[in-house]
Amino acid sequence: YICELLAKMASKKAVAIVIGVGPGLGASLAKRFAAGGYSVGLIARKESSLQPVQSELEQSGHTGDQS
């Protein structure tokens, strides 16, 4: 499934995959990439780490899908 998601994202614009998303560096990187026009894939050990970052990105006008 991730390959299909990446293929969809890549066909539209540059893709950045951020591994280790949490409240610190991973979240900051995700926000910077999104602000730069990248499609951003978020990966974390716990879903609870992803939710705040995804919500903030969506509030900034970026769309997301948590699968």
Interval 6-41: pLDDT, tens: 666 656 678 889 998 888 999 999 999 999 988 888
In a domain, 67, yes or no: no
In a domain, 64, yes or no: no
Task: Indicate if the pLDDT at residue 58 is higher than 80.
Answer: yes
In a domain, 21, yes or no: yes
In a domain, 19, yes or no: yes
What integer pLDDT is reported at residue 26 of this predicted model?
Answer: 92
Provide the 3-class DSSP secondary structure of residue 15: strand
Other CB atoms within 10 Å distance of the CB of residue 5: 14
DSSP state of 55: H
What integer pLDDT is reported at residue 66 of this predicted model?
Answer: 61
Per the structure, the count of domains in the chain is 1
- Decide: pTM greater than 0.75: no
Residues contacting residue 52 through CB under 8 Å, at least 6 positions apart? 23, 27
8 Å CB contact between 42 and 54: yes
What integer pLDDT is reported at residue 65 of this predicted model?
Answer: 65
Task: Indicate if the pLDDT at residue 43 is higher than 60.
Answer: yes
In a domain, 66, yes or no: no
Which structural domain range is residue 38 located in? 2-59
CA dist 47 and 67 (Å) reads 10
8 Å CB contact between 46 and 25: no
